[in-house]
Every structure is written in structure tokens, then in C-alpha cells.
Amino acid sequence: MGDKGSFLLPDAASTLAGEVDALFWFVTWTSAIIFAAVIVAKVYFMARYRRKDDTEVPEPVKESKWLEATWIVVPTILVLIVFTWGFDVFVKLNTAPPDSYQITVRGGQWTWEFQYDEGASSFTEMYVPVGRPIKLNMSSSDVLHSFFVPAFRIKHDVIPDRYTSVWFEATKLGEYQIFCTEYCGTEHSTMLAKVVVVSEEDFATWLAENSTDLPPAELGQQLFAQCAVCHSVDGSAGIGPSLQGLAGSDRALADGSTVLANDDYLRQSILDPASQVAEGFQPIMPAGYAGMSAKQIDGLIAYIKTLE
């Protein structure tokens, strides 16, 4: 297949691209064969049964139940095969390995920003190491965007005030195009960036050279000083619940329901605390934190995640 990609598909540079492509070719070839058969039959009938005499009226054809059953059953089997196969690959595309290296991606009119836990950040190029699963935690600062890397066969919408994610593991060094694929205004078509896949050593060097900002978790720890008045980080109860071991746990709420304490939960608990009160506590947390910047919230979430 080479660097230029195959006859139709673009370059394939992730672990799952090959699986998507195999499915793509299976569907394409199966469709092409059936399509060709239909067209051949059509052209043959057009020629063979061409009207010769204007008074001719053909006899009706007795319909064959077996034939009808065939062209219902065979396509049904075929679509169930591609459905199941597509489902299988879809699950893989949606399940990031737990040891993935995480990068925060923020889409905004009309740039992509990439933030690293070590404190590096960049706009036009996302540096990633080859051969390591990478999970992107994405959100938008304005309207909908969509993060698309053709060479990795991944795409996902990027939504304001909500976290979505994609993951990939690059298999080849090189630069790969990032497109925005959800219309976002005047400069939608220039909201581009590149994934730069480099070796582990080069990645480490790049990170070290570019980590000039405070890493998000450290920023979060600083900000947490005001939270610590009510929330402990060691499991002891305060005015509010302790945040130790909170991230990723199942959380019992005062209304009797249970939710997964994922990024969205944490974010909403900071911005709109009364909307989901932990069991055994009063809704007394002030709503005044809604004015925090996206970066500060990301920092707090990153810090809370370190409280294992």
C-alpha cells in the first residue's frame, strides 16, 4: 500500500486503519459484484425482450416464491455480516486502552489547541509518539467542531461544554492531516492542523522543550486551595464530600440515583453544584465557580484525577 495509500483510501497509519480498510473493501467488492449482476441482468432484459411488434402483449410471468425468498434472505445475511463486522471494529475504535497517553484537545473558531499534562501546548501541530495508544479528550470553546484524521480513520464531534474522546495508535512516523468536519463558520475550511508522529525519544525531547506552562494538574492543585475549605483529599468528611478516589467511581446522589463520576460529571459539579448533590450532603456549595476558564476547569479535573 505504501505511503500514498491504496487505490481509493488514503494512507493508513494507525493500528485500526487496516481493520477499517478490510471491512471497507469487503463491502465495496460485495456491492460491486451485486451491482454488476443487476446491471447485466437489466441490459440483457432490455435487449432480449425489446418490443418487436406494437400489438404484442406478453403473458404474465408466474412469480417464483423460491426466487423471491432468495433475494430477501441472501442480502439479509450479507448485511448482518457487515453489521456485525462493523460493530466489532466500531467497539475497538471506541475503546481506548486504559494505559493510553492522554492529550487535551480544544476546538475553537478556527484553531485546534493541544494541551499536554506535562505543561506543553501547541496549536498547529499535535506531537505524538509512535507505537503508543493516544487518547484525546476533546471539547469546544464555542460551536460544534469535528476532529478528523483520515490516515487514522478516526472522527468525532467536538461539543461545547461536554467532553468527547477518540483514540488511536500511530504505526508510522510522519505528518498526518487533521480536518474540522463539522461546519463552524467562515474559516471552517482552514481549521486544519497536523498530527506529527515522532519516536519516543523525539517526543520526550519535544515535551521537555515545550513544557513551559504549568502542567494542568499543578494548576488544579493551586486552584484547589479554595476548594480545600470544604473538600478534603484524604477521605475524611468535611462540609462537602472528600474527593479522594472520586474520579472514575460510581457516585451515589442525594436523589437516590447513581452516576459515573467521569469528566463531564466533575465539570458539571464545579459549574452547577446543585444539579447533582452527593448522597448525605446538603446543596450548599456556591455556584460562583461558573466563571472559571476552561483551562482552569481542566486543571481542577486533572488534579482531582490524581487523588487516588
Partner 1 sequence: MTESPTGTVNYLNHDKSIKSWLLTLDHKRIGIMYLIAVSLAFLAGGVLAMLVRVELMAPEEILMGADAYNQTFTLHAVLMIFAFIIPAVPAVMGNFALPIQIGAKDVAFPRLNLASFYIYLIGAVVALSALLVGRVDGGWTFYTPYSTSIGDGILFITLGVFIMGFSSILTGLNFIVTVHKMRAPGMTWNRLPLFIWSIYSTAIVQVLATPVIGITVLLLFLEKVLQIGIFDPALGGDPVLFQHFFWFYSHPAVYVMILPAFGIVSDLMGTFSRHRVSGYRFVALSSVAIAFLGCLVWGHHMFVSGQSAVSSVIFSLLTFLIGIPTGVKVINWVSTMYRGSVQLKTPMLYAISFLFLFSIGGFTGIMLGVLAIDIHLHDTYFVVAHFHYVMMGGNVIAALGGLHYWWPKMTGKDFNEPLGKIAAVLVFLGFNMTFIPQFIMGIQGMPRRYYTYLPEFQSYHLWSTYGSWVLAAGLFLIAGYLLHSLFKGKKAGLNTWGALTLEWTHTTTPPDHHNFHELPVVRRGAYDYHLARHLFENGSEVSEVAHASE
Shortest Å, Cβ 124 to partner 1: 15
CB atoms within 10 A of CB 165: 18
Q: CB-wise, 23 or 230, nearer to partner 1?
A: 23
Shortest Å, Cβ 113 to partner 1: 19
Q: CB-wise, 117 or 182, nearer to partner 1?
A: 182
| Size of the chain, expressed as the number of residues it contains | 308
Shortest Å, Cβ 305 to partner 1: 21
Q: CB-wise, 120 or 297, nearer to partner 1?
A: 297
Q: CB-wise, 43 or 228, nearer to partner 1?
A: 43
The answer to whether residues 166 and 156 touch, using CB atoms and an 8 Å cutoff, is yes
Q: CB-wise, 3 or 308, nearer to partner 1?
A: 3
- Tell whether the torsion through CA atoms of 99, 293, 278 and 225 is positive or negative: positive
Shortest Å, Cβ 193 to partner 1: 13
| Environment class of 147 (CB within 10 Å of its CB; exposed 0-12, middle 13-18, buried 19+) | buried
Question: Starting from the edge strand earliest in sequence, which strands make up the sheet with 154-158, in order?
Answer: 125-129, 193-198, 174-180, 145-149, 154-158
Shortest Å, Cβ 43 to partner 1: 9
Cell 520526550: give the residue: 204
134 bridge partner residues: 101, 168
